[in-house]
Amino acid sequence: MKILVTGGLGFIGSHTVVELQNEGFDVIIIDDLSNSSIDVLDGITAITGVKPHFEKLDLKERSKVEGFFATHNDIAGVIHFAASKAVGESVQKPLMYYENNINTLVYVLKEIEKLEHQNFIFSSSCTVYGQADKLPITENAPVKPAESPYGNTKQIGEEIIKETCKVNASLKSIALRYFNPIGAHPSTQIGELPKGVPQNLVPFITQTAIGLRQQLSVFGDDYPTEDGTCIRDYIHVVDLAKAHVVALQRLLNDKNESNFEVFNLGTGKGSSVLEAIKSFEKVSGQQLNYKIAGRREGDVIAAYADTNKANNVLGWKTELTLDDAMASAWKWEQKIRNK
Looking up residue 109, the CATH number of its domain turns out to be 3.40.50.720
Distances (CA, A) of 92 to 147, 219, 300: 13, 17, 18
Instruction: Report pTM.
Output: 0.97
Q: What is the pLDDT of residues 184-206, one digit of tens each?
A: 999 999 999 988 888 889 999 99
Q: What letter would DSSP give residue 314?
A: I
Amino acid identity for residue 44 in this structure: I
The number of distinct structural domains making up the chain is: 1
Would 122 be classed as within a structural domain?
yes
Above pLDDT 70, what percent of the chain? 100
Q: What letter would DSSP give residue 263?
A: E
What is the rounded distance in angstroms from the CA atom of residue 172 to the CA atom of residue 71?
Answer: 22
User: What is the average per-residue pLDDT within 265-278?
Assistant: 98
What pLDDT score does 339 carry?
Answer: 63
What is the rounded distance in angstroms from the CA atom of residue 259 to the CA atom of residue 324?
Answer: 35
Would 327 be classed as within a structural domain?
no
Local confidence band at 47 (pLDDT 50, 70, 90 cut-offs): very high
Q: Which residues are catalytic?
A: 150
The answer to whether the CB of 100 falls within 8 A of the CB of 83 is yes
Would 221 be classed as within a structural domain?
no
Amino acid identity for residue 229 in this structure: T
Q: What is the pLDDT of residues 235-252, one digit of tens each?
A: 999 999 999 999 999 999
| pLDDT higher than threshold 90 for residue 30 | yes
Rounded (5°) CA angle 118-119-120: 115
What is the rounded distance in angstroms from the CA atom of residue 222 to the CA atom of residue 227?
Answer: 8
Local confidence band at 89 (pLDDT 50, 70, 90 cut-offs): confident
What is the rounded distance in angstroms from the CA atom of residue 107 to the CA atom of residue 62?
Answer: 6
Closest to 325 measured CA to CA, from 32, 18, 15, 26: 15
Structural domain of 51: 2-181+236-266
Q: Phi and psi for 274 in degrees, rounded to 5? A: -65, -35
Would 284 be classed as within a structural domain?
no
Polymer length of the chain:
339
Q: Phi and psi for 189 in degrees, rounded to 5? A: -85, -30
User: What is the average per-residue pLDDT within 284-308?
Assistant: 94
Would 320 be classed as within a structural domain?
no
Higher-scoring residue by pLDDT: 222, 146: 222
Would 58 be classed as within a structural domain?
yes
Rounded (5°) CA angle 308-309-312: 80
CA 18 to chain centre: 15
Would 249 be classed as within a structural domain?
yes
What pLDDT score does 134 carry?
Answer: 96
What pLDDT score does 76 carry?
Answer: 98
What is the rounded distance in angstroms from the CA atom of residue 332 to the CA atom of residue 207?
Answer: 11
Local confidence band at 297 (pLDDT 50, 70, 90 cut-offs): confident
| pLDDT higher than threshold 90 for residue 83 | yes
Would 330 be classed as within a structural domain?
no
Rounded (5°) CA angle 160-166-168: 95
- 3-state SS, 134-182, equals CCCECCCCCCCCCCCHHHHHHHHHHHHHHHHHHHCCCCEEEEEEECEEE
What pLDDT score does 255 carry?
Answer: 98
